[in-house]
Amino acid sequence: MDKCIVCGNSDFKLIYKNTLQKCNNCGFITANINISDEELKLFYGEKYFNGDEYSNYIDDKETIQKNFNSRLKQIDKITKRQNFHHVLEIGCAYGFFGQLIKNRYPSASYVGYDIAKEAVEYGKSVLKVNVLNENYLESDFSSNPYSHVFMWDVIEHLSSPDEFIEKISKESVAGSFLFITTGDISSFVPRMKGASWRMIHPPTHLHYFSKKTLSKMLEKYGYEVQSIKYPPVSRSVKQIFYSLFLLQKKESKWKTYIYQKIPSSLYLKLNTYDIMFLIARKK
């Protein structure tokens, strides 16, 4: 990165054995890597959701939707149940959130974008939601301004998140809401863990925001932050076990056996207070 996407500064220092770089002006942290959108697509194939990052994303649907429903309840409180008119989701994956919007707000229009081809095909064919296998930045300008935009655990994956926010702002009506979840690198756990924080794994995670840097970037594009909270997150026990004992680990028959015996419906609600849920409103 030649210039900081938050403040425009071009003075960085390398940190964490040169894997990340930190802006010397505002403190924004990004991966010390150059990667194109075409190269990024290669990381988000079917294996990403079935072995490389998740054990089995589709099997985790119930737990993933628990988190979405919990967030929607919080949103209703803060937005005073403002009507959903035209909904945009960036990083829709398999369409699990789109399905909830379709069922909960049947009068709202919804569109989701994702570069993961197999995931989008599932959303279209199985869940029957309006999801597109396209880069949102390359999509045609929306003639129907968005009222609600969702970026669930995706902004850290984008090669140019500032360009996404700029386009979203241009295509959203005044008073519209933007919802983002991402890791907060300034919170206690990442400060304690340093380079071993679980969220640091470029090239799939490219950007590492804090409350301050994310809020500052959004303000550049006409957003006012309404709320930043750290709610608990439901995790399937099967996925937790897979991440701890099987992902990128030496093959073990007894660990694989235990993993296969864990019910997919079993989950835990955890809070490490390092995942922020931000709600912003366009001025």
State the Cα angle at 263 between 259 and 266, rounded to 5°. 110
Residue among 47, 65, 90, 72 at smallest CA distance from 236: 65
Report the distance separating Cα 129 and Cα 220, nearest Å. 32
pLDDT in 10s for each residue of the chain, 283 residues? 789 999 999 999 999 999 999 999 999 999 999 888 888 888 998 899 998 889 899 999 999 999 999 999 999 888 876 789 999 999 999 999 999 999 999 999 999 999 999 999 999 999 999 999 999 999 998 889 999 999 999 999 999 999 999 999 999 999 999 999 999 999 999 999 999 999 999 999 999 999 999 999 999 999 999 999 999 999 999 999 999 998 878 888 999 999 999 998 899 999 999 999 999 999 9
10's CB contacts (< 8 A; 6+ apart) are: 2, 3, 4
Question: Quick one: tokens of 136?
Answer: 């949102």
Strand partners, 113: 90, 132
Question: Quick one: tokens of 135?
Answer: 């880069």
Question: Quick one: tokens of 209?
Answer: 């925001």
Domains of the chain: 36-231+273-282 (3.40.50.150)
Report the distance separating Cα 261 and Cα 283, nearest Å. 51
pTM (2 decimals)? Answer: 0.95
